[in-house]
Amino acid sequence: MTLPARNLLAEEASPYLRQHSDNPVHWRGWSPAALAEAKELGRPILLSIGYAACHWCHVMAHESFENDAVAAVMNRLYVNIKVDREERPDIDQIYMAALHAMGEQGGWPLTMFLTPDGKPFWGGTYFPREARYGRPGFIQVLEAVDKAWREKRQSLAESADGLTAHVEQRLAGAKGRAVLDRDTLADLAGRIDGMIDRDLGGLKGAPKFPNAPFMHTLWLSWLRDGQAAHRDAVLFSLEKMLAGGIYDHVGGGLSRYSTDAEWLVPHFEKMLYDNAQLIRLCNWAYAATGNNLFRVRIEETVDWLLREMRVEGGAFAASLDADSDGEEGLFYTWSRDEVETALGDAASTFFRYFELAAPHGWEGKPIIRQNEAQQSQGIADYGQLAPLKAKLLAVREQRVRPGRDGKALTDWNGLMITAVAEAGRSFGRPDWIEAAAKAFGHIVEASQDRRLPHSMLGAKKLFPALSSDYAAMTNAAIALFEATGDPVYSDRARQFIGELDRWHPDDDKTGYWLTASDSGDVPIRIRGDVDEAIPSATSQVVEALVRLSSLTGDLDLWDKAWTTAEHAMGRASQQAYGQAGIVNACALALEPLKLIIIDEPESSSLVPVANRNPDPRRVDIVVPIGTEANRPLLPGGVLPPTDKAGAWFCSGQVCLPAVTDAGELEKLLRR
């Protein structure tokens, strides 16, 4: 039975899908019923994938999907399916890989044409309603694809079969295991270092993305091999990024990317995952350098997070839109007159530390940024500057706000919980740790039958979770355990891995699928090996298994971590790009670090040393003096004594002699 001939998005949980619920297009969400309708009618599927903060998704919606003439053609010729890529990254990755296989550049909105059984045969990204930008008009595209479908159906179906087989091999194939060795990380770090822009930071060229997985590779290279040039590339990139317009100097937080090579003009959407990774990188950078720039930017970004991104219950929203009042960046940009009106006589002080920049071709108001000297002086004089920024923020709060995608995504929340818990430890901010714990609790409470949701919006929940959700929440649980010592978090981490093992393993127990075994609406079951703006699902799984096995001393869990890492690296070695996350996670498997500290909780001298020296390779366990129950094992099954203070630092299966002096521990952790 076909679905009703009307738009069906009003009841969806995704704010992005609900934004399209008033379109004259007869949209369906991705579902078995929508796929069955296409088969019954014998029509191709027009699949449109986007997300709430995507500027060009809004442009295409206004031009085409809100237009009655365009909608009439879509409704007559196609079964039209709308997907939120953040809700369904498994669907998005399949069809984005298909577009790449066609030789096209990816991006969103993703516009794909599928056979009635869901196999892709042609596609693109944004299409204007009328022909321009060297692109055909959308109605022209719709009619041309329909003509091809009617006249060359057999040929298109064969092409779709071949393309689907290619995508399945790439995203779901098994390539055998690879021996993990130190050279792989060194080789990748060397290649990334060759891509670094020595003048402007980040990777060469434009647009410029933060690219946290690559920065992580360089940081691990420095920690493990002492490659100071790789550390400096990360620090330089962060400094340039944090001075540019991509960073919100008034309200804190990072935009998704800059459209130019100088970090000046951002694509103004703010994503939860970018800012989680920024907090972690800045936390490591501050520990390594003591540069207050990184401390201040973490404080500003966490302030933004807690002010603007918390949803009811304490979890964090997915994103803020780039547009407000129909104009990209309007909320964030300032004319000189606006600054002077807001600050009065203090405006001249503000302009000593900031400049307004409007590059060639930019049609909006100017963008606030700093040069190198202003950034350095601004941090030195932050006490003078902070009240002026607070005044501008108060004025900005009166503007029309960008839309917020208020859904809480479990994996993105896991990334942010980890970042905030770690920064809370480093900075002695129990309020941050409490905020991270509240977000964690909110997501756990949304579970059903011990299974996490992938996404929540109020009472609406999307099940089942993805492997990335269980992995990110395992890492978040371990970060909260490190920050609080509460065993409820280590118990939760074990539970999450138990659910991962129940619903996601492959038949050979060599790795995990992105989707659960009872996800019945995916055309291909994929692994999730490829990094996007965040590390891949597979890399997060490897990291979670390594960290939990290190925390617990569970040798069976360690064997599982090692097997998963070897097979992930076997697949990664066959791919051309997007595997930095797997290499980084496998580097942790090669050299897992564990620090056990026995100390007086109320007057500890050793714990603060560990807290202010974060290391992404290390798991920290703090045990009060005199504790007998649930003592952690050192490698080899040895129990450390708990009658006096001491710290045991272990790498793999080797532990150094106990350290009792704070200064000695500081030297050891900085070595």
Condensed to tens digits (0 to 9), the pLDDT of residues 260-286 reads 999 999 999 999 999 999 999 999 999
8 Å CB contact between 513 and 526: yes
Residue 1 pLDDT: 62
Question: Which residues, other chains included, contact 399 with Cβ-Cβ below 8 Å and sequence gap of 6+?
Answer: 324, 330, 331
pTM equals 0.96
Count other C-beta atoms under 10 Å from residue 411's C-beta. Answer: 25
Alpha carbon 462 to its chain centroid, in Å, reads: 19
Residues 527, 455, 311, 308, CA torsion sign: positive
**Structural tokens at position 97:** 């890989």
Helices and strands in the chain: count of H runs, count of E runs = 25, 21
* Cα–Cα dist 190/182, whole Å: 13
Q: What is the pLDDT of residue 34?
A: 95
Residue 39 in tokens = 């088969």
For residues 549 and 488, the answer to whether their CB atoms sit within 8 Å is no
Neighbours of 227 (CB within 10 A): 19
- List, in order of start, the domains of the chain with CATH numbers: 15-172 (3.40.30.10), 182-330+405-590 (1.50.10.10), 593-670 (no CATH)
Which DSSP helix (H) or strand (E) runs through 136?
Answer: none
Cβ pair 582, 572 in contact under 8 A: yes
Predicted local confidence at residue 48, as pLDDT: 98
Task: Give the pLDDT confidence score for residue 500 in this predicted structure.
Answer: 98
Q: What is the sign of the dihedral through the CA atoms of 91, 517, 497 and 312?
A: positive
* 220-255: pLDDT as tens digits: 999 999 999 999 999 999 999 999 999 999 999 999
Segments in the chain below pLDDT 70: 1, 576-577, 629
Q: How far is CA 97 from CA 51, 127, 173, 587, in A?
A: 18, 19, 14, 27
- So what's the pLDDT on residue 652? 86
Sign of CA dihedral 295, 401, 277, 601: positive
Q: Which residues are CB-neighbours of 555 under 8 A, at least 6 positions away?
A: 549
Which tokens in the block code for residue 58?
């809004």
Give me the pLDDT at residue 131, please.
Answer: 87
Place of tokens 């050793």: 606
Angle between helix 372-380 and helix 382-396 axes, rounded to 10 deg: 100
Q: Which H or E element spans position 374?
A: helix 372-380
